[in-house]
């Protein structure tokens, strides 16, 4: 069946469902085989790989005025070491993909903000041309993630100037050439906060310290080395900001030590004078649109539940990159999106991926023990090889991650160290599965 | 003396244990373990002798659709010269358009490394 006939077959409804939040314009929807929501690293890699696999009719919708996503403001280097075997800055890494996008003549619409996705794969987007309704056969969710804010962690004090999330600080410096302060305290040891500690120091600010509420660092060890240790910036674990002082502009913060339940210990308060507080306390996958389409999220990852094809709980809606799970490296985002593309191309052949008689109840669940924060995928059909991504909850040394089914070991990997900051990926072959029973992932250590 | 290094060469971030002895010619590595690849040893040797780092920053662009472009070094420079590199970059003013790979400063401060543009900036529309 040709793509054109399939579209006719899909019987696109012309009547607006009254339940929808956004009213649909009267004109006919714009049809595409695949609509990719977001032109960041995941969306770009998915689009290029889809085109390479012979899918012709692809459309990327991007809310910013150019593609590239967060890479545009990540001017530090270290991108591409896995994917291209060279150390590039973020904009250079993005340009590799944007150049290919142009070469392959893949259509992308920028300044186009998606407002709604429906379970039957309609996409409603706003742009200067007004509201447009698109109809896709498959949707790729590639919206990425956003930062947790001061409000999300409930730091008391006035709402004064000088408090920024790390990514906002990064966009001021790296996109707008605006310096944000002279004396800086950083809360949270996430990678962007560490990168900003170095950037602000080189730009002449005094970065006094980084405070992390957990007893372990959240950022990659190499970033602690080259962004903090190189500049003698101290990192205090099990500490958090408990008060913000000042009236119009930040004048200082109070920091307290926390106990094993992460509660501030009275009497440990210490004041630090500063005009800027940078908050780098984690990233949350951005899934409001996914939920509108009926996609079920995993409370552990805040991303969609997916199978080994990166297909969500809604048939024909797929997810990869930071919207699915927050990654450490953009290289892994690109690789994940390229694997997703192979699944989407397969889906488009017959408008389904799993064999015709497969029911969702037949999925093999993947369960993890208490030492493991989550796994992606969360369930598999057992019909394809896959890569199991996971993170440990706490640091471990000389440990082993074992996949069990019916008490039999189906795969295992030994690790000298496992830390929450580093995602662990284990390739699993469908042939290695021994039954249709659940897969259990356990962490064994000495 | 035993010392632990976190290799910064690639994202793997190997934790390298090294046994080091002071000699008349400076520190010597007696034993080294934990590096996944050959670059780990070179990294430790440099860290003991003269730590090398890449500098990334931004420089001003006039007449462009953005006020700045981003730049990086093509080869690492001694860590204690990073601030000198930054000071040089502060003086730079480029004119749009600029493109990726364009040389901003050749052989900066005689350190054997070039500064290149890492983000294209087009001429502003108005």
- Model confidence pLDDT, tens digit, residues A158-190: 889 999 999 999 999 999 999 999 999 999 999
As a whole number, mean pLDDT of residues A219-238 equals 96
Q: According to the model, what pLDDT value does residue A157 have?
A: 85
Q: Counting one residue from A and one from B, how many pairs have CB atoms under 8 Å apart?
A: 78
pLDDT at residue A26 greater than cutoff 80 = no
- Percent of chain A past pLDDT 90, that is, above it, reads 87
Would the pLDDT of A257 be above 50? yes
Q: Does B67 touch chain A (CB under 8 A)?
A: yes
**Burial environment of residue A241 by CB neighbours within 10 A (0 to 12, 13 to 18, 19 or more):** buried
Q: Evaluate if residue A8 carries a pLDDT over 70.
A: no
- A77 vs B72: CB contact, 8 Å cut-off? yes
| pLDDT over 60 at A286, yes or no | yes
DSSP state of B109: G
Provide the ipTM. Answer: 0.94
Asked if the Cβ–Cβ distance from B11 to A331 is below 8 Å, we say yes
Using CA atoms in the order B75, B79, B84, B87, what is the torsion angle rounded to 10 degrees?
80
Contact B100 A92 (CB under 8 A): yes
Provide, as residue numbers in chain B, all residues whose Cβ is less than 8 Å from the Cβ of A87. 54
What predicted TM-score, i.e. pTM, was given to this entire model? 0.91
Give the pLDDT score at A224: 96
Which residues in chain B have their CB less than 8 angstroms from residue A76's CB?
A: 56
User: Are A202 and B66 within 8 A, CB to CB?
Assistant: no
Which of B11, B65, B102, B115 is the mutation pick for testing A, counting most A CBs within 10 A?
A: B11
B31 near B18, Cβ under 8 Å? Answer: yes
For residue B53, list chain A residues with Cβ-Cβ distance below 8 A.
226, 230
Angstrom distance (rounded) from CA B12 to CA A329 = 10
Structure-token pair, residue A112: 């186009």
| pLDDT (mean) for A128-133 | 95
CB contact under 8 A, A175 and B66: yes
Whole-number pLDDT of residue A28: 84
**Least confident segment among A1-5, A105-109, A430-434, A438-442:** A1-5
pLDDT tens sequence across B7-44: 998 888 899 999 999 888 889 999 999 998 999 999 99
- Are A328 and B11 in contact (CB < 8 Å)? yes
A25 pLDDT higher than 70: no
Q: Give the three-class secondary structure for A378.
A: coil
Ordered domains of chain A (ranges, CATH) = 3-146+284-350 (3.50.50.60), 149-281 (3.50.50.60), 360-445 (2.60.40)
Q: Do A75 and B56 touch (CB under 8 A)?
A: yes
Q: Is the torsion defined by CA of A384, A386, A392, A397 positive or negative?
A: positive
pLDDT digits (tens, 9 = 90+) for A215-225: 999 999 999 99
Select from A411, A404, A394 the least CA-distant residue to A445. A394
pLDDT tens, position by position, B63-113: 999 999 999 999 999 999 999 999 999 999 999 999 999 999 999 999 999
Task: Name the residue with higher pLDDT: A416 or A14.
Answer: A416
Q: Taking CB atoms and an 8 Å cutoff, what residues of chain B touch A175?
A: 66, 68
Average pLDDT, chain B: 94
In chain B, which residue's Cα lies nearest the Cα of A331? Answer: B11
Residue spans of beta strands (DSSP E) within A73-174: 77-79, 88-89, 107-109, 113-117, 122-127, 130-141, 145-147, 163-165
Distance, in angstroms, between A331 CA and closest chain B CA?
Answer: 10
User: What string of DSSP letters covers A265-309?
Assistant: PTT--EEEE-SEEEE---EEE--HHHHHTTPPBPTTTSSB---TT
């Amino acid at each position: 069946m040709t793509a054109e006939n399939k579209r006719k077959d899909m019987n696109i409804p012309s009547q607006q469902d009254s339940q929808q939040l956004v009213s649909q314009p009267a004109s006919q929807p714009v049809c595409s085989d695949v609509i990719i929501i977001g032109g960041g690293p995941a969306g770009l890699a998915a689009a290029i790989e889809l085109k390479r696999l012979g899918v012709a009719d692809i459309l990327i919708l991007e809310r910013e005025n150019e593609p590239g996503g967060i890479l545009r403001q990540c001017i530090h280097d270290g991108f591409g070491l896995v994917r291209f075997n060279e150390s590039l800055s973020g904009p250079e890494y993005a340009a590799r993909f944007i150049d290919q996008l142009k070469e392959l003549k893949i259509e992308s619409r920028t300044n186009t903000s998606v407002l709604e996705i429906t379970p039957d794969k309609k996409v409603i987007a706003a742009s200067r041309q007004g509201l447009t309704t698109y109809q896709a056969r498959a949707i790729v969710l590639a919206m990425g993630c956003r930062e947790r804010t001061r409000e999300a962690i409930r730091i008391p004090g006035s709402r004064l100037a000088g408090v920024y999330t790390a990514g906002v600080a990064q966009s001021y410096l790296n996109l707008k050439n605006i310096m944000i302060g002279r004396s800086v305290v950083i809360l949270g040891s996430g990678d962007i906060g560490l990168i900003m500690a170095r950037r602000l120091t080189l730009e002449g600010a005094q970065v006094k310290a980084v405070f992390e509420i957990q007893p372990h660092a959240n950022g990659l060890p190499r970033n602690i080395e080259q962004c903090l240790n190189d500049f003698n910036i101290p990192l205090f674990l099990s500490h958090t900001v408990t008060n913000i002082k000042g009236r119009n502009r930040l004048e200082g913060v109070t920091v307290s030590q926390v106990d094993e339940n992460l509660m501030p210990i009275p009497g440990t308060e210490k004041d630090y004078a500063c005009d800027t507080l940078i908050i780098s306390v984690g990233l949350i996958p951005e899934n409001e649109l996914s939920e509108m389409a009926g996609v079920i999220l995993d409370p552990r990852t805040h991303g969609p539940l997916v199978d080994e094809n990166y297909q969500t709980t809604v048939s024909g809606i797929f997810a990869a990159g930071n919207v699915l799970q927050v990654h450490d490296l953009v290289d892994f985002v690109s690789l994940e999106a390229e694997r997703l593309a192979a699944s989407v191309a397969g889906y488009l052949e017959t408008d389904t991926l799993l064999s015709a008689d497969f029911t969702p109840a037949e999925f093999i669940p993947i369960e993890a023990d208490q030492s493991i924060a989550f796994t992606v995928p969360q369930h598999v059909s057992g019909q394809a090889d896959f890569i199991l991504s996971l993170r440990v909850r706490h640091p471990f040394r000389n440990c082993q991650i074992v996949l069990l089914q019916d008490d039999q070991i189906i795969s295992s990997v030994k690790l000298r160290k496992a830390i929450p900051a580093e995602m662990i990926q284990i390739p699993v072959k469908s042939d290695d599965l021994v039954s249709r029973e659940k897969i259990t992932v356990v962490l064994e250590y000495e | 003396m035993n010392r632990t290094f976190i290799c910064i060469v690639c994202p793997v971030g190997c934790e390298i244990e090294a046994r080091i002895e002071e000699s008349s010619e400076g520190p010597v590595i007696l034993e080294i373990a934990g590096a996944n690849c050959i670059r780990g040893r070179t990294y430790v040797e440099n860290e003991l002798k003269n730590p090398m780092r890449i500098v990334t920053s931004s420089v001003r662009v006039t007449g462009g659709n953005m006020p700045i472009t981003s730049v990086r070094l093509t080869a690492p420079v001694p860590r204690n010269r990073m601030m000198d590199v930054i000071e040089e970059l502060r003086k730079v003013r480029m004119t749009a358009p600029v493109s990726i790979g364009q040389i901003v400063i050749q052989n900066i401060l005689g350190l054997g490394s070039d500064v290149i543009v890492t983000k294209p900036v087009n001429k502003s529309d108005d």
